[in-house]
Amino acid sequence: MFGFGTGGVQHAENSSRQLKPMSGLGNKLTLKASYLCCQRTILRKLTLPRHKKRGYETLNFSLFAKYAVPHLRLAHGNIINIASTRALQSEAHTEAYSASKGGLVALTHALAVSLGPAIRVNCISPGWIEVGKWRKNKSRHPPALSAQDHQQHPAGRVGTPHDIAAMVAFLISGEAGFITGQNFVIDGGMTRKMIYAE
């Protein structure tokens, strides 16, 4: 049995409370922080209050980690951060989003050095992952993907949640016991593909 914790970090008391049900899971406790995101914001429209909100959403993962660390030390658990390939490449007007994901990748290796060897910390940066049919019933929709959507990926297809879950399962296993502080890009090869307009 594996215990996964996914939680938001808006309030310190929430971080502590969300972790309590997981405290008895023994050495299978793993923290997967996936709430670190900020919506696309055009730089010229980024106001100071919105900037503060974005920074709060991103950097307060360290607060969530603070409350998780005592449980994870006892369990020899793992922290798996979910970032994005936007930490490595960008589209126009994604400054806030790209910066937040780059910060999460950097935080991953910093935490790995600080928390090891009792706790391993790694990061996954997904590319295009189709999640339409995985949403809650109210917002679920069938994927509307074209042949070109798939073919542009060197792997020949768009990613699925299974692709990410498989990496998480590997990283928390004993097989990955010598891996920490790393960022794993799961994007079907897209960040390695040169794309120039013809």
User: Is the model's pTM score more than 0.85?
Assistant: no
pLDDT confidence tier of residue 47, bands split at 50, 70 and 90: low
Q: List, as one string, the DSSP characters of 132-162.
A: GGGS-GGG-------HHHHHTSTTSS-B-HH
Residue 10 pLDDT > 50, yes or no?
no
Q: Which of 35, 56, 67, 97 is labelled catalytic?
A: 97
Output the average pLDDT for the chain. Answer: 76
Phi-psi region for residue 80, left (φ > 0), alpha (ψ -120 to 50) or beta? Answer: beta
Mean pLDDT of 106-119: 94
Q: Tell me whether residue 56 is one of the annotated catalytic residues.
A: no
Residue 141 pLDDT > 50, yes or no?
yes
Residue 59 pLDDT > 80, yes or no?
no
- Residue that is written with structure tokens 């990061």 in the block: 123
Domain boundaries, the chain: 3-192
pLDDT value, residue 71: 81
Q: Residue 68 has which token pair?
A: 């998780």
Burial tier of 3 (Cβ tally within 10 Å: 0-12, 13-18, 19+):
middle
Residue 9 pLDDT > 50, yes or no?
no
Mean pLDDT of 53-78: 72
The DSSP H or E segment spanning 19 is: helix 12-19
pLDDT value, residue 49: 65
What CATH class is the domain 3-192? alpha beta
pLDDT value, residue 14: 56
**pLDDT > 70 fraction of the chain, expressed in percent and rounded:** 62
Residue 168 pLDDT > 90, yes or no?
yes
pLDDT value, residue 125: 96
Residue 136 pLDDT > 80, yes or no?
no
Mean pLDDT of 141-158: 86
Whether omega before 142 lies within 30 degrees of 0, making that bond cis, reads no
